[in-house]
Amino acid sequence: MKQIKLQNLKGTTDFLPEEQVMRNKIIDKLKSNFEKFGYMPLETPILNHYDLLKFKYEDDAEILNETYKLTDQGNRMLGLRYDLTIPFCKVIALNKDLKFPFKRYEIGRVFRNGPVKLGRMREFYQCDVDVVGTDSRMIEIEQLTMAKKVFDDLGIDINIKWNNRKLMSGLILESGINSNLTDKVISIIDHLEKMSKDEIIKEFTKIGIDEKIANNLLDLFNKSLVEYNNLYHSTSNSLIQEGLKEINEIAKLIKEFDLSENTEFTPSLARGLSIYTGLVFEFFDKKLRITSSLGGGGRYNKIITDFIDDGNLYPACGLSFGLEPIYAILKEESNNTNLLDCLVISLDNDIESLKIANKLRDNGIKTIVHNNQRKLKRIFEFADKSHIKYVIVIGSNEVLTHQYSLKNMQTGEQYLLTIDQIIDKINNF
């Protein structure tokens, strides 16, 4: 008989019921908040034409190197989606009757063949909200407000780091660096908080930037907003002008909406992907239980416009919430999850026990029935290990009297009650 080694692929995992219940609760809170802000659900295919996935990226782009590629029986080049943004662009292009601004959310699996660490898998969920059809700064501040509300509901205190890609591009040009190198320079600068100065300078030299210019860049990307405003108040560099204008607008709105304690202007933040055209954001756990971001996003005004290429503009802005790092934090913080509320033990009347269990379920009580083929002690041990709070024992005498023994497994208290009284006690505890 052929033997196989039973194991998950690296970067993938199984989630047992107790774990999946918590994940479902996270998703439910995300959906609830998304819909409160007017974002409606959308679903797109996991499997896509590879040409679609590589749109807007050079062949050597990191995201394409991490893309899972495959062919079908027609020898067509396909790929597993690495995010939900490109499929969203496709939806806008294919549906000409959409009304703008169009707001959607999507929660689904994405795949990246990249490094694996705590909170970062190769098969994982992204939870995205996007709006297309408006370039108003009010969308950015609305999405930041929503992000704060989401994490408050999840019990995670966050720090929102934010920046503007126009300012970054303008500062790079101001340093005399060829515009062809802008994306590569931004990619290196995005690692300023993760790498040492020597490591950063080494990366710059790899793309032909000498140490003097590299040090100048490091100095340029280590200033406060006040310093940038003072240095470039009369600049002719249009990218710096536009970037600072948008930054100052958001800074004012951050104060207006009481987000100052949870936000930090970070001039080196780039969000990695070159699709971003303006403001960018990332969310971090203030307690640093996970150091990688819990999500982020920003303004991307060109990708849908270029993708559709019909002469119209399609400005867009969106955020992505990482289910895996959020789950990793809450899993460590959580106590045992109650998957079930009540266990009904049938001593000698399975039919009546099932009828009672169904009545409990009809009243919102999650219930399991155990037919008594084991010793009662073992069944109570099962209930305790399964974190089931209540146990009801049903035998012939209980059926005749309509009085049932209810035990609270947490306190050890026992009661003799009717089913209606049991329902009331469980639902009002």
Q: Which has more confidence, 86 or 158?
A: 158
The answer to whether residue 374 scores a pLDDT higher than 70 is: no
When pLDDT is averaged across residues 388-403 and rounded to a whole number, the result is 90
Task: State the residue for tokens 């970062």.
Answer: 120
pLDDT range class, residue 333, cuts 50, 70, 90:
confident
Condensed to tens digits (0 to 9), the pLDDT of residues 225-259 reads 999 999 999 999 999 999 999 999 999 999 999 99
Where are the CATH 3.40.50.800 domain residues in the chain? 342-427
**What are the residue ranges of CATH 3.30.930.10 in the chain?**
17-333
Tokens of 78: 């396909």
Residue 338 has pLDDT above 90, yes or no: no
Tell me how far apart the terminal alpha carbons of the chain are, to the nearest angstrom. 55
pLDDT at position 183: 87
Does pLDDT of 335 surpass 70?
no
Question: Tens digit of pLDDT for each residue in 257-280?
Answer: 999 999 999 999 998 767 899 999
* pLDDT for res 364: 92
Beta-strand relationship, 40-41 and 102-111:
parallel
pLDDT at res. 2: 76
Fold of 342-427: Rossmann fold (3.40.50)
- Segment 301-313 shows an average pLDDT of 91
- Rounded CA gap, 315 and 300, in Å? 7
Cβ neighbours of 15 (radius 10 Å) = 12
Q: Which residue has the higher pLDDT, 15 or 428?
A: 15
pLDDT class of 366 with cuts at 50, 70, 90: very high
CA dist 300 and 304 (Å) reads 8
Q: Which residues contact 170 (CB under 8 A, 6 or more apart)?
A: 237, 238, 239, 240, 241, 242, 243
| pTM (2 d.p.) | 0.84
Q: What is the pLDDT of residue 105?
A: 98
pLDDT-derived band at 355 (thresholds 50, 70, 90) equals very high
**What pLDDT score does 58 carry?**
75
Tokens 């062809």 locate to 180
pLDDT of 396 strictly over 90: no
What CATH number belongs to 17-333? 3.30.930.10
**Using an 8 Å Cβ cutoff, are 302 and 165 in contact?**
no
